[in-house]
Every structure is written in C-alpha cells, then in structure tokens.
A and B are shown apart, each in its own frame.
Chain A
C-alpha cells in the first residue's frame, strides 16, 4: 500500500502540476485512491473468480495478489514520474486560450495515459508467473489474470470517471472532484462518441 501511495501519488502529482499546485495535490491523492478503491471494490469478485478458474486462493491471498500488481504498477509510475515531469515542464502552460481541443492538452493527455498503460502492462506481466506457479497450470494462471484484468479495468475506468478531473477541466475551478462526477459513465461516453463518429 505504501508503494501504491508513494508511486502513484508522485505520478499523479506530476500529472496535476500542469494545471495548478492544488490540482497536483488532488491528483496525487486521487490516483492511488483509484487503485485502492478498485482493489477493495473488486476484492470479493476477484476472490470468487480465482478458485472458479482453477486457482485455489483465499480472499485475502487474491486481495494481496491484486494489490501486488497495483504496487508494481505504482512503482513503475513512480519511476516514470521524472520523465513525466520533464514532459509537463516542456508542455506549453495552461492559458486562457487553451481548450479541450488544444494540441498541448491532447499530447499531455495521450503521453500520460500511455505511461499509465505501460505501467499497468508491466504490473500484470509480473503477476502472471506468480499466478502460474501458484496454480501449477499455465492456462489457469492466464485465465485468472485475464478475468482479474477485465473486472479491474471495468471498475477502475468508472472510478476514474467519478474521480475526474486528473489533469484539467475546462471552465471549472480547481476541485477535488468535478461537480458532475456522478453524471454518465465512462463506457456510455465512449459508446456515444463512437456512435457520433460512425452515424454522425
């Protein structure tokens, strides 16, 4: 948990620092919170899925395993924080004319998301041999990992959606959570965007 708080917290602080020091503090708290809430929220489900897919873990063990994966992810994020800071430093600062469509915001968003994705992949890849060894079957280990990955991504995306913004929110003051936090869902928004692009 310390690894999650320190690693993800430092990366979050870098993400938020582009906008405002307070945003840095808030995002530094929110990013570890996403990981911890996802682990806690899916703890029961992950603990059920593991034995059903051939890995006889107790709830406590499965909880610890998922936490280990997030800890590795956070350590990688923590290690990438200086690089992220360098990118933020070189990004044109937030100005009155900055909009959601501004290239600097898009580049920052994309780069920081790629770092999170990379850290997530490393965290899960590190977990796979452990699961394989524990289950004694490569197939069962992979199945458990994929199931955990699916449910954690599903839950984590929505928790991130509720706790947004992480970088910046146009025309809104800096706040811990946006005023429309419980409006819509991540997947609904993606689905509507795809529909708009496809059907106009």
Chain B
C-alpha cells in the first residue's frame, strides 16, 4: 500500500519566511546542569558529621540532595555542630596571639559571633532567595546556610597552622587582624560558592538576591568582630565598654599601631 501511495516529501514553500524562534515564557532557572539525585551516589544517606565534611568537600551535590530530603534536621544539626567546633578550634589559635584569658575568650567570641551573625541574617536570606524565585523551603535554606558555615570554618581550621605561626611571630594587632580577615574572606568565598550552587538547584532565576545577602552577611560579621572586641588584644572587660563602627575601630587600631611603631623608632 505504501508503494502505491508514497508519502510526498515535505518541501517548505520557498516564499514563506522561517518564523523566528519563540522566546521562553519565563526566565529559565539558573541550574542548567543535571538535577540533584540523578546519580545514585548522591542518594546515599550521610550518616554522621565526618561524612558530611567529606561530602561537602568532595561531593557537594550529595549534601545538597540530602538537605532536600525530609528529616534533614539531624544532618543540619550535625553540620552546625562541626561548624561550632571548628570555629572554636580556630578561635583558640587566634587566642594564642595574646594568650591568658583570650585562650578561652577568643574561641567563645568567634564561634558565638559567627552563629549570631548567621541567625541575624537568616530571615533576610530566606526572603531574598524567595524573591529570586527559589522554591527552597526554610529547612533547605537553613541547611545551605549551615553548609556555608561548615565550609568556612573547616577551611579556617586548614588556615590555622599558618595563623598560629604568624601569631607567635608578630606583636602587631593590626597585621594579625588583617591576616585573620583575609583568611575569613577566602573561606567565605568558597562558602558562598557552595551556597550559590545549592540555590541554583532550587529554581532560582537570579543570583542578585543572594549576592545582596552576601554583602549584608559580610557587613554584619565584620561589625560583630567589633561588637565583641577584643578578639586579638587583651582587655579588662569581656565586652567592649564603648560602641563603635568597624571602620572607626580599624582606624583606631591602625593609629595605635602607627604610634607604637614611631615610639619603637625613637627608641
């Protein structure tokens, strides 16, 4: 039958112009790569905190997938515990610069400061990501924030030997403060990258909201170091007696350092 009635080939008429491609109705989500969980290895549960560290460093997609699953609260709790422990370890190293009471005060201040900053910024993170079109639940946002904190603090532990050797060598608070800020900034860059990758899988259509939040978090955390000062030097009181913005505090530190250098030069 087919031989008798061959289907004529479809030949487009030459005079009809090709219609332009129709643009998509909505902006596509950022995650152009494969969906989370398509690799069976990503579906393997994360049983404990050490596995979470391993997953965060080597298989972040596995962690992102597990954070989306029901009952991820235990995993988030474990991640926060690791972040707390690592922040305390780094704090002890920072405290060795001054010694004495700073050996316990610096870890307490660093760990508490980081967690208070994260708590203060959590509502804005949720709102900004929602405004970016993200479908992430609050638990998932908490999980990604916990991932940011954990990655930051484990990287800070990696920087700890470098920080320690400089702490033992220099007596300049300004220099050590600058060094800690550089380490903190590098660690935060990696943490933010993890977070951006995580949000890209939540149908977020833009990174703008997240980028604004990163600036807010950065400013809050830096101000927290001033609000909880001194973290590096010594003081008679645990908390500062005077309120100051971080830029003014840094300027004071530099002036003090300059004065010390001049005095040393005169001697």
Contacts and interface: CB of A to CB of B under 8 A. Distances in A.
Interface string B168-193: 11111001000000000000001000
Q: Is the interface of B mostly helix, strand, loop or mixed?
A: helix
Interface stretch (B3-11, B13-21, B77-85, B157-165): B157-165
B158 A41 contact: no
Contacts of B57: 48, 51-52
- How large, as a class, is the contact surface on chain B? 10 to 19
A64 interface: no
A48 B154 CA distance: 9
Contacts of A48: 57, 154-155, 158
A158 B167 CA distance: 11
Contacts of B165: 41, 155, 158-159, 162
Contact of A45 (B158, B175, B261): B158
A42 interface: yes
Nearest to A151: B162
B166 interface: yes
A47 B157 CA distance: 12
Contacts of B261: 192
A182 to B, nearest CB: 5
Given A51-B57, A51-B58, A185-B175, A44 B158 contact: yes
A155 B169 contact: no
Contacts of A188: 170, 172, 175
Contacts of B161: 41-42, 44-45, 155
B159 A45 contact: yes
A134 interface: no
A158 B166 contact: yes
B170 A185 contact: yes
Nearest to A40: B161
Contacts of A161: 169
Nearest to B160: A44
B29 to A, nearest CB: 23
A155 B162 contact: yes
A154 to B, nearest CB: 6
Contacts of A44: 157-158, 161
A192 B261 CA distance: 10
A154 B162 contact: yes
A184 interface: yes
Interface centre among B154, B165, B168 (most CB of A within 10 A): B165
Contacts of A47: 158
B58 A56 contact: yes
Interface of B: 57-58, 154-155, 157-159, 161-162, 165-166, 168-172, 175, 190, 261
Interface of A: 41-42, 44-45, 47-49, 51-52, 56, 151, 154-155, 158-159, 161-162, 182-185, 187-188, 192
16 contacts: A41-B161, A41-B162, A41-B165, A42-B161, A44-B157, A44-B161, A45-B155, A45-B158, A45-B162, A52-B57, A158-B165, A158-B169, A159-B165, A162-B165, A185-B166, A188-B172
